[in-house]
Amino acid sequence: MGDVKKACADLKSGKPVFIYDMDGREEETDIVFASGTVKPENIMFMRQNGGGLICTTVSDPVAEKIGLPFLVDVFKTAQAVHPVLRNSLPDTLPYDTKSAFSITINHRRCYTGITDIDRALTVAEFGNLVGDVAAGKSENPLKSFTKAFRVPGHVFLLRTSKELLKDRNGHTELSTALCLMAGLPPTATICEMMGGDGKALSKPDARKFAESRGFIFLEGHEVQEVWKTWSG
């Protein structure tokens, strides 16, 4: 519990936390930042030390209020017009029951959207919006979203499962749960750590990287155990 508590404090102060999901699942470690704290140097850190896909999570209740769909549902709707989408949906994932991907976004003040500065702007502003929606401060979440963001863009949104850490235990859920336990808006920005052999960085190497720099390394079961108590 101590490491989870320290991880929550680190997220609040803008530091990264490292989360390994679990053996037998993806078996990957993600670098995790609280979205509202993200700065350009954090995007650079993930690019240089993660190397995977930089994505931003959003809790299911907030996604519902904004109207953010699962991407697979968008594709299902579009199958009639675009036959290439038929029989191509991720229904047979080897490690999970569904994909967390939602839409991709750029903030309207971005230029190309891909630079560290642009992606940090998109992430931080999305984090602010999620915070407002979660706190009931946005009278029209959909209008607030469309006023601030363009679709598609260079930041990949991931939507959590409805029952957080009950029917899905991916990095999307683990990182979002950690943000909630930290008293932060339910959105994290995450990036998988890749190794030099073309595979995901091993758990021992990811742990060594994090701990040698004074960062917290957590395994998914540690987050789950504290979450069960915290969420009642």
Residue of 10, 26, 173, 192 marked catalytic: 192
Q: Cα separation of 187 and 200, whole Å?
A: 24
Token digits of residue 226: 């504290």
Residue of 64, 132, 154, 205 marked catalytic: 154
Catalytic, 192? Answer yes
Residue of 106, 118, 171, 179 marked catalytic: 106
Residue of 55, 110, 179, 191 marked catalytic: 55
Q: Which of 83, 153, 102, 80 is nearest to 123 (CA)?
A: 153
Catalytic, 211? Answer no
Residue of 30, 125, 173, 222 marked catalytic: 30
Catalytic, 110? Answer no
Relative to beta strand 29-34, strand 101-107 is unpaired
Q: Cα separation of 26 and 171, whole Å?
A: 9
Catalytic, 55? Answer yes
Q: DSSP class of residue 108?
A: T
Catalytic, 111? Answer no
Q: Are 153 and 105 spatial neighbours (Cβ–Cβ below 8 Å)?
A: yes
Catalytic, 154? Answer yes
Q: DSSP class of residue 186?
A: S
Residue of 41, 73, 91, 95 marked catalytic: 95
**Phi, psi (rounded to 5 degrees) for 196:** -90, 5
The residues carrying an active-site annotation are 30, 55, 95, 106, 154, 192
